[in-house]
Amino acid sequence: MTESHARSRGGDPAEQLSRKARRRSVAVSIVRSVFVTVVVFVLYFTLPFDQKSPFNTGLALFIGLVVAGIVIAWQARAIAHSPFPLVRALEGLCTSFPMVVLLFATTYFVTGDRDPATFSEPMTRIDSLYFTMTVFATVGFGDITPVSEGARAMVTVQMVVDLILIGLVARAFVRSVRTGLARRDSESVDGEH
């Protein structure tokens, strides 16, 4: 697109490129978010978590939370360095949330599968996901409840992680967006001089 053609369409060439880049960035972000979410859900519903596997739920939950923390920290850094930090922050939230929810749902499913007396009723994968979401949303319908001390401890950990996810992670992403916007603005001012 020539400079005169861009001006005749109501903008300068840099602004036109910026709109195209923004649209492309949004599209890539949506595709990446959907892809990650689908992969995580497919893994949740297909991996063979049964009584025969040597799955240590406490250790696996701890490792999963550490990995989730690393991914979230990486996302915060990527947001701050992105040319479109707001888009990147939305992508970070759209991928972090399902990852953490399914981590706890998997933990509840495996725990309930190993010892059906852990919860007030036996749980399928859907039941575990439903229970995780009721804890996350602080709804607590009461139809499924943790009965054992271990299950109550896991639910307590989830409540704390949920508060951290809602409060600190959202705040960190907002701060990263501000940093990214400030960096982008300073680069555009430096580029004009």
Tens of pLDDT, residue by residue over 88-113, are: 888 888 888 899 999 999 999 999 98
Given this model, what pLDDT does residue 191 score?
A: 62
Q: How many domains does the chain have?
A: 1
Checking if the pLDDT of 135 tops 90, the result is yes
- Give the residue with greater pLDDT, 166 vs 41: 41
Given this model, what pLDDT does residue 165 score?
A: 81
- Give the residue with greater pLDDT, 192 vs 139: 139
Tokens coding 38: 């689908």
Q: How far apart are the first and last CA of the chain?
A: 24
Checking if the pLDDT of 148 tops 60, the result is yes
Going by pLDDT thresholds of 50, 70 and 90, the confidence category of residue 40 is very high
Tell me which residue of 42, 57, 39 sits closest to 107, measured CA to CA.
Answer: 57
Checking if the pLDDT of 3 tops 60, the result is no
Given this model, what pLDDT does residue 192 score?
A: 63
Given this model, what pLDDT does residue 139 score?
A: 87
Distances (CA, A) of 114 to 45, 46, 108, 177: 17, 18, 10, 43
* Domain that includes residue 62, residue range: 3-192
- Give the residue with greater pLDDT, 151 vs 10: 151
- Give the residue with greater pLDDT, 35 vs 168: 35
pTM for the model: 0.77
CB-based contact 103:68 (threshold 8 Å): yes
Given this model, what pLDDT does residue 1 score?
A: 42
Distances (CA, A) of 91 to 31, 155, 172: 10, 27, 14
Cα–Cα distance measured from residue 48 to residue 33, given in angstroms and rounded to the nearest whole number: 25
Q: What average pLDDT does range 72-84 have in this prediction?
A: 84
Q: What average pLDDT does range 47-64 have in this prediction?
A: 76
Going by pLDDT thresholds of 50, 70 and 90, the confidence category of residue 8 is very low
CB-based contact 141:134 (threshold 8 Å): yes
